[in-house]
Chains A and B, each alone.
Chain A
Amino acid sequence: MIEALHLVKRFRDRKRGTVCAVNDVSFSCRPGEIYGLLGANGAGKTTTLRMLATILAPSEGTATVAGFDVVKDAQKVRSQVGFLSTATALYGRLSAQEMVEYFGRLYGLDESTLHRRIDEIFARLEMNDFRDRRCDKLSTGMKQKVSIARTLVHDPSVMIFDEPTLGLDVMAARTIAGFIRECRDNGKTVVFSTHVMSEVEKLCDHIGIIHGGKLLAEGTLLELRARFGIHDLEDLFVKVVES
């Protein structure tokens, strides 16, 4: 379960002064549900998700993730979260297995559990052919699988995806989409940010439209269509943002 409560994030910028990247954002997402944060570049999606993953601390407000407060129990939150974004790269000089092992150990898994989990995940994601190959020698698709394995190794109850398909080809993007669906089907709480309308339509149970750091509208796709009287999600998004 994720519950964001009036999250605010301000940054100090030398040229622009204080910038409010996220302004009073509140939403919730239940287990077995995908919440899509839809917004243009610079809308505040990444900052919101980074606060939920405790990579950034909120300036105001808070959030509970898997029952833990992101401000007071940041470390416990991180142990319950799997975070994947295009910015979460791999250590190129480690092999696929070493990469996943490293994170498994940091998540506190004992060696027998860690290797059992790695064997399971590598078999499921068909990674055994390149498990000993260095990450910088892998194809984009293989790298994505290693990233997925890294987020899954500790079997987190909450998954946070920040524009995970950005810059990927169709096949790699489909792998990610399938993985997000699988997470929901396994009862995990999933928050997902994107600016690709088709991904939102295909994957999300709940949608939040974010712009200028503010959450302007939220609901299921059907609810939003009914509220604004627009069927096409792109038109709907533009109307919400412009209003």
Chain B
Amino acid sequence: MSLRNIGIVYRKELIDSLRDRRTLISMIVVPLLIMPLLTIGMGVLSIALVGVARKEVPQVMILGGEDSPHVVADLKLLKDLQIVPAKPDFADEISNKQIRAAVEIPRGFEANLAAGESSTVNIYMYEGELKSGFGADRLQRFFRELRDRSIREHLQARHLPDSLAHPFDILEKNVAPPEKVGGAILGGVVPYFLILLCLTGAMYPAMDLTAGEKERGTIETILCSPVSRTHLVLGKFLMVLTASIATATLAITSMAISFGAGKKMLLGATHGAAEAAMQITITGKAMASIFFVVLPLAVFFSAALLALSLFAKSFKEAQSYISPLMIVVFMPAVAALLPGVELNSALALIPVLNTSLVSKEIITGTYHWNLIALIFLSSSAYAGIAIAIAVKLFQREDVLFRS
């Protein structure tokens, strides 16, 4: 084994790749941009969109209510609702976003209310449509307040206390620290992107250093030099691994900075789950641990991509081989996002899924060291097999000179 020759090949491939725009974009630009875009960009964008939606005064229709003039008049007095004339095709108008919601007041509503009899008010809205939701929310609030007022009036008429309608409160108390709540929300997403970037970072150099060489006709040039094919493939592999690790490292760094900056910018502007997600704190220990478990996966990706790309005659053909592989890789990465999927010793042996799950745990501050060791060892074994296959393929003439 000549480390000198491996080093010479590696150095050349590094210089060569750093001058390749496609490699630079996938290795440096994408990981540096994707995390700020995901955190700050998406946060700012969603806040802006919600703000725009909130500013709009929703147009709503009142269906019926002819015998409930006071309720209709009170509704018309609301400044944050615009009442439009009722039409029979109100549902189509909501679907076509011409109006945001409609409320159906039942016959004899006010009389029922006065008599203390029950009736049903229907609110029509378009589920999942933000502005329609705001319109429906405003209507709900109006009728909730009306109901509460009616209960209070009935109780007072009978000289009963208001608390009778509200005998006790139910409160859910969270015992999980904020970073765990945040981790549970973002913990699945972050490793997913990390694995994705690890793969995409290795993809272009792997194709360029194998299929690209065949396409450009430099494979024969290098094969007639005295460097052994094992040294050649190891030098190339190290370059692909460098790209993969650089992508992952830049992604982790960018992620940490983005969360830091994003927290300051977005806290206070967010609500509920989003605020909990922003509570996430990625410690130095978590970053180092994630790097440690992602490293053998990067080795595995680099060697597998190198071997697969070598089969192709051209860059384009290599892309057609690698695209299905991306789906194979993303399935376990996405599986880790599913609720209820918990890391155990069996799942620790499934490549990609194991790394995704353990990274999720690490982000939430949970360290199962025996499983981390098992994942590191199994991923290293897969990586070793992939390197051996890549080395073997570089010895095969039918692969190197496939025509």
Using a CB–CB cutoff of 8 Å, the interface residues on chain A facing chain B are 11-12, 50, 53-57, 75-76, 78-79, 81, 83, 85, 87-94, 98, 102-103, 105-108, 134, 150
Using CB atoms, name the residue of chain A closest to B232.
A106
Using CB atoms, name the residue of chain A closest to B5.
A106
B228/A75 in contact, CB under 8 A: yes
B401/A98 in contact, CB under 8 A: no
8 Å CB contact of B218 from A11, A75, A89, A106 = A89
Q: Size of chain B's interface in residues, with CB distance under 8 A?
A: 22
A89/B19 in contact, CB under 8 A: no
Produce 1/0 per residue, B83-102, CB < 8 A to A: 00000000000000000000
B226/A88 in contact, CB under 8 A: no
Known contacts being A88-B217, A90-B218, A106-B8, is A81 close to B16, with CB within 8 Å?
no
8 Å CB contact of A81 from B9, B216, B221, B224 = B224
Q: Which residues of B contact A108 (CB under 8 A)?
A: 226
8 Å CB contact of B225 from A56, A78, A93 = A78
8 Å CB contact of A88 from B9, B221, B397 = B221
Using a CB–CB cutoff of 8 Å, the interface residues on chain B facing chain A are 5, 8-9, 12, 15-16, 19-20, 216-218, 220-221, 223-228, 397-398, 401
Using CB atoms, name the residue of chain B closest to A150.
B221
B16/A89 in contact, CB under 8 A: no
Q: Which residues of B contact A85 (CB under 8 A)?
A: 220
State how many angstroms separate the Cβ of A17 from the closest Cβ of chain B. Answer: 14
B217/A89 in contact, CB under 8 A: yes
A78/B224 in contact, CB under 8 A: yes
A106/B227 in contact, CB under 8 A: yes
B223/A55 in contact, CB under 8 A: yes
B221/A90 in contact, CB under 8 A: yes
Q: Which residues of A contact B19 (CB under 8 A)?
A: 93, 134
Using CB atoms, name the residue of chain B closest to A88.
B221
State how many angstroms separate the Cβ of A221 from the closest Cβ of chain B. Answer: 29
Q: Which residues of A contact B218 (CB under 8 A)?
A: 88-91
A94/B15 in contact, CB under 8 A: yes
